[in-house]
């Protein structure tokens, strides 16, 4: 299984191939945005994730300092 993850919005998906996992993540993101817009909670959804909508522009209210891959040994467990 492959997992795809959008840390900015804390949304994940998975599938049997990397390409399918990416495709599924895109679909999940589109559905999430469409449904929250229909419910009238899109601004709240973005605010919770650290973003704000100003007009038609999505502004980042938090800063991502970087991503780093980590390896953790579990041999002693």
> pTM of the prediction?
0.71
Joined tokens for residue 64: 């991502």
Q: How many CB atoms lie within 10 A of CB 49?
A: 16
Joined tokens for residue 40: 């009238």
Domain range summary for the chain, segments of one domain joined by +: 2-60
DSSP 60: E
**Tens of pLDDT along 12-37?**
999 999 999 999 999 999 999 999 99
**Tens of pLDDT along 32-43?**
999 999 999 988
Burial per residue of 2-41, b for 16 or more beta-carbon CB atoms within 10 angstroms, e otherwise: eebeeeebebebebeeeeebeebbeebbeeeeeeeeeeee
């Amino acid at each position: 299984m492959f997992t795809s993850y959008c840390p900015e919005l804390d949304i994940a998906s998975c599938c049997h191939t990397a390409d399918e996992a990416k495709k599924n993540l895109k679909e999940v993101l589109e559905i999430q945005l469409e449904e929250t817009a229909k419910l009238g909670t899109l601004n709240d959804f973005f605010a919770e994730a650290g973003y704000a909508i100003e007009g038609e522009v999505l502004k980042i209210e938090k800063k991502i300092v970087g991503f780093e891959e980590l390896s953790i040994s579990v041999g002693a467990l």
